[in-house]
A = this chain, B = another copy of it.
Amino acid sequence: MLTLGIDPGTAIMGYGLVESGVSLSGEESSTEELRLVEYGALRTPSHAPMIKRLPMLYAGLQELLKEHKPQAVAIEELFFNKNVRTALAVGQARGVVILAAAHAGVEMAEYTPLQVKQAVVGYGRATKEQVQAMVKIILHMDHIPQPDDAADALAIAICHIHSRVFEMMTRDRGSA
């Protein structure tokens, strides 16, 4: 299962593609290791108006979806600890991600920051640094992924895969 994690923002949108041996049909092993496929960030010029920036982000996402054909797109759920101006900007960026995924016919999932931390570090109050260090270990990277937005995006992708594995295990147990 290939998952595209996204950390939405209008100036910089982090993305991370993580592959797992676990297919959605649950046919393969659920213990197979995760593999880093690609990560990075889409950036837009800060002087440009939103009418230019949002289509640039949409086109960048469209390209990623077309090239990698992920089975799912995962983003962080609404957060409420930032200010209204940030929330409005993040909302616009999220709108772009949701539309790009929907138009590409790709399944979408949302996770709270708590769920991401629990899935990646096993501890809901983990710091940003602990999450990044675990992302590096889980994906066998030789350095912490940069920028932070890309590291966050990889963490969300890992969270999605873990939660799917858990769902499948639960389902298997239920049907046994």
Number of interface residues of A (CB under 8 A): 28
Q: Closest CB of chain B to A106's CB: distance in Å?
A: 9
Distance between A11 CB and nearest chain B CB, rounded to angstroms: 14
In this complex, what residue of B is CB-closest to A95?
B95
Nearest-neighbour CB distance to chain B for A66, whole angstroms, equals 16
The B-contacting residues of A in range 82-102, CB under 8 angstroms, are 82-85, 87-96, 98-99, 101-102
How many copies the complex holds: the figure is: 2
Q: Among A38-46, A51-59, A113-121, which stretch is in contact with chain B?
A: A51-59
A91: which B residues are within 8 A, CB to CB? 87-95
Q: Is A103 an interface residue (CB 8 A)?
A: yes
Q: Does A108 contact B (CB under 8 A)?
A: yes
Give Cα distance in the complex from A174 to B91, angstroms: 40
Give 8 pairs: A residue, B residue, CB < 8 Å, sorted on A. A52-B102, A54-B98, A80-B85, A88-B91, A91-B91, A91-B92, A91-B93, A96-B99
**Which A residues lie at the B interface, using CB under 8 A?**
50-52, 54-55, 58, 78, 80, 82-85, 87-96, 98-99, 101-103, 108
